[in-house]
Chains A and B, each alone.
Chain A
Amino acid sequence: SQQGEEDPQALSIQEGENATMNCSYKTSINNLQWYRQNSGRGLVHLILIRSNEREKHSGRLRVTLDTSKKSSSLLITASRAADTASYFCATGPYNQGGKLIFGQGTELSVKP
């Protein structure tokens, strides 16, 4: 079962612009995480936001969480060509142990 739905499915921007990706989910969660995947590679954990947090920053990344709307957004500021990748949100459903449920992903292309 895919809990997360991401929007947009694909995003193309110029270097230096900001990129915003959105994620919606269906059930109560313990936390929400964002991952990055370069083509043909494994996923890399970017940032985790807990259900009692509203915003979190890490370098050029800013994540927000709105539990009342069951949604999250990932903002990448001053994007670089090296940010080109797929980005996935993943939710840790409440009372379902340690498993994560991943969204379909947003494919980001940053043009130099």
Chain B
Amino acid sequence: DGGITQSPKYLFRKEGQNVTLSCEQNLNHDAMYWYRQDPGQGLRLIYYSQIVNDFQKGDIAEGYSVSREKKESFPLTVTSAQKNPTAFYLCASSFDSRYGYTFGSGTRLTVV
């Protein structure tokens, strides 16, 4: 079955550490997106990529980095520069926004 997979489901980070969240899709979608969701709030765009080897900053890119070396994969690194990383992270993919997004099940990141 085609879909989008995020791992891990839960992730704990110590202060000063970098952590990488995985996002893989087998839908043959060109575009991929990372969003952050804080409790009781909507989604805020971190980074997005419309084609391999190219990506753009979203509204809250500071403290995050991404790569898009393969069409199927769009990993997100939360760096130590991100001062408040505790949140629910959602990855999505699409042919483009005219057709709607397919979302992964999310990664909940907690700083300990």
Contact = CB atoms under 8 A, between A and B. Distances in A.
A56 interface: no
Contacts of B48: 97-99
Interface string B37-51: 000011111001010
A42 B104 contact: yes
Nearest to B102: A45
Interface in A79-100: 88, 90, 92, 97-100
A101 interface: yes
Interface residues of B, number: 30
B106 A41 contact: yes
Interface residues of A, number: 27
A64 interface: no
Given A43-B90, A98-B48, A98-B50, A88 B100 contact: no
A102 B105 contact: no
A100 to B, nearest CB: 5
B33 interface: yes
A31 B102 CA distance: 16
Interface of B: 6, 31, 33, 35, 41-45, 48, 50, 56, 58-59, 88, 90, 92, 94, 96-106, 108
Interface of A: 1-2, 4, 30-31, 33, 35, 40-45, 48, 50, 88, 90, 92, 97-105
